């Protein structure tokens, strides 16, 4: 890993972002590429206080500091909490960054989202250089604010933004890219190497409506699953009344006689994608990038509660290329079964269509955004 070209002085790269795996995993991908290219680089993550952040970064043996940042909101109570905490959070970040800068040259890489804003505010007060990595097709408030304070801005999604935002391909870590063919990946996961495999994923947060859709399909369209097995990433336990937990979903597959692996979160995502012939799930930037990198035909159901529908925008390049289909999440189980379920079942039955979609994804080229950003960071040293 450290076989890269030595740099003249130590470099500390502070990645600012968190709250979801969608911010953390791309940061880990860039950190991997930096370590591959040069010795003397230390990466540290300024993340949120949410338990998921600590879990992900601990599993990756990454050094991190949890920042008690709050999301910006115009709702009175949330806005008051944001304004009350902003000054103290920025001061805390500034103290931490000052300590880091005393140990060597330091660059802050903002991965977007509410954690990045106070870290960048502190970085500018300390005179540090800042790089913004925008992941979604519709930049949020924090990203637009950070962009105006950054020395370089990269976007992994096509946006109608400032022309100075440099477009890169998706940012995908090594662990999310298959390390063998489909039969190999299936065997490593304990699955039947000969059975076609469907991936169901709501990413790190899970997707309540997709979980319920799958249970409905197992009950009403059991025959569609003949000759298939399923890898289902269901997300953490949710509090909504109609949510289904890991056990309930696993029981549904068992009752239908469908072989499956059901987990809240998979670490070995490269083998999960590598085992799959077809996927259905949300279309955050991370999931779209992983589908692209592993050339897995996908049915994307954008998160339905975003006003700007940025997840749909994330998936449009794959749909336009012919490698994916976007279907609206109607929230209602019966409506989703009629629409998304019909699309999914049709693709499960059409091997030629799936192979054609896979070939279209292959034509998009490598998902090498992390490599391009790592090179740009080193050029700033």
Q: Phi and psi at residue 59, in whole multiples of 5°?
A: -65, -30
CATH dotted code for 11-169+367-379: 3.40.50.2000
Q: What pLDDT was estimated at residue 5?
A: 58
Contact 324, 299 (CB under 8 A): yes
Q: What pLDDT was estimated at residue 2?
A: 43
Banded model confidence at residue 3, pLDDT cuts 50, 70, 90: very low
DSSP-assigned states of every residue in 141-163: HHHHHHHTT-SEEEESS--SS-T
Task: Kindly state the average pLDDT of the residues 125-131.
Answer: 97
Whole-number average pLDDT of the chain: 91
- The C-alpha atoms of residue 344 and residue 95 are separated, in whole angstroms, by 51
Dig out the tokens for 34 from the structure. 């930096």
Query: Are the folds of 11-169+367-379 and 176-362 the same?
Result: yes
| Domain boundary assignment for the chain | 11-169+367-379, 176-362
Residue 165 has pLDDT above 50, yes or no: yes
- The C-alpha atoms of residue 19 and residue 70 are separated, in whole angstroms, by 10
- The C-alpha atoms of residue 92 and residue 97 are separated, in whole angstroms, by 9
- Between 235 and 375, the higher pLDDT residue: 375
Q: What pLDDT was estimated at residue 282?
A: 94
Domain 176-362 listed as CATH 3.30.450.30:
no
DSSP code, position 300: E
Residue 306 has pLDDT above 80, yes or no: no
pTM: 0.86
Is the four-CA dihedral 16, 22, 25, 29 of positive or negative sign? negative
Q: What is the pLDDT of residues 74-114, one digit of tens each?
A: 677 766 766 778 899 999 999 999 999 998 899 999 998 88
Q: What pLDDT was estimated at residue 38?
A: 86
Banded model confidence at residue 170, pLDDT cuts 50, 70, 90: very high
Q: What pLDDT was estimated at residue 83?
A: 76
Residue 164 has pLDDT above 90, yes or no: no
Q: What is the pLDDT of residues 252-295, one digit of tens each?
A: 999 999 999 999 989 899 999 999 999 999 998 889 999 999 99
Residue 212 has pLDDT above 80, yes or no: yes
E strand or H helix at 260: strand 260-263
Q: What pLDDT was estimated at residue 305?
A: 79
Contact 4, 36 (CB under 8 A): yes
Angle between helices 340-348 and 208-220 (to 10 degrees): 60
**Rg value, the chain, Cα:** 21
Contact 42, 13 (CB under 8 A): yes
């Amino acid at each position: 890993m450290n076989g890269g070209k030595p740099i003249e002085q130590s470099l500390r790269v502070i990645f600012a972002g968190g709250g979801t795996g969608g911010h953390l995993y791309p940061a880990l991908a860039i950190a991997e590429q930096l370590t591959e290219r040069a010795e003397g680089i230390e990466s540290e993550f300024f993340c949120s206080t949410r338990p998921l952040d600590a879990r992900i970064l601990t599993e990756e043996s990454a050094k991190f500091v949890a920042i008690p940042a709050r999301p910006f909101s115009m709702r009175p109570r949330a806005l008051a909490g944001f304004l009350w905490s902003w000054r103290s959070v920025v001061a805390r970040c500034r103290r931490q960054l000052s300590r880091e800068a005393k140990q060597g040259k330091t660059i802050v890489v903002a991965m977007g989202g509410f954690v990045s804003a106070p870290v960048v505010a502190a970085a500018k007060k300390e005179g540090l250089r800042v790089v913004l990595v925008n992941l979604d097709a519709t930049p949020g408030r924090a990203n637009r604010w950070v962009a105006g304070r950054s020395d370089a801005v990269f976007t992994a999604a096509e946006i109608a933004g400032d022309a100075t935002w440099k477009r890169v391909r998706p940012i995908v870590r090594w662990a999310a890219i298959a390390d063998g063919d489909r039969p190999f990946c299936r065997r490593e996961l304990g699955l039947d190497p000969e059975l076609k495999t469907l991936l169901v994923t709501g990413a790190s947060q899970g997707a309540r409506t997709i979980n319920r859709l799958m249970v409905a399909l197992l009950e009403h369209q059991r025959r569609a699953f003949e000759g298939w097995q399923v890898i289902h990433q269901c997300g953490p336990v949710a509090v909504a009344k109609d949510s289904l937990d890991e056990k309930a979903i696993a029981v549904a597959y068992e009752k239908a006689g469908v072989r499956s692996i059901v987990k809240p979160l998979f670490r070995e995502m490269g083998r999960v994608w590598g085992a799959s012939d077809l996927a259905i799930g949300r279309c955050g930037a991370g999931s779209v990038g992983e589908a692209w990198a592993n050339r897995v035909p996908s049915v994307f159901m954008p998160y339905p509660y975003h006003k700007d529908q940025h997840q749909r925008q994330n998936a449009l390049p794959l749909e336009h290329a012919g490698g994916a289909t976007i279907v609206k999440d109607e929230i209602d189980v019966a409506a989703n079964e009629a629409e998304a379920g019909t699309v999914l079942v049709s693709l499960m039955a059409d091997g030629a269509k799936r192979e054609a979609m896979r070939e279209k994804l292959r034509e998009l080229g490598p998902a090498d955004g992390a490599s391009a950003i790592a090179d740009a960071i080193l050029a700033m040293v």
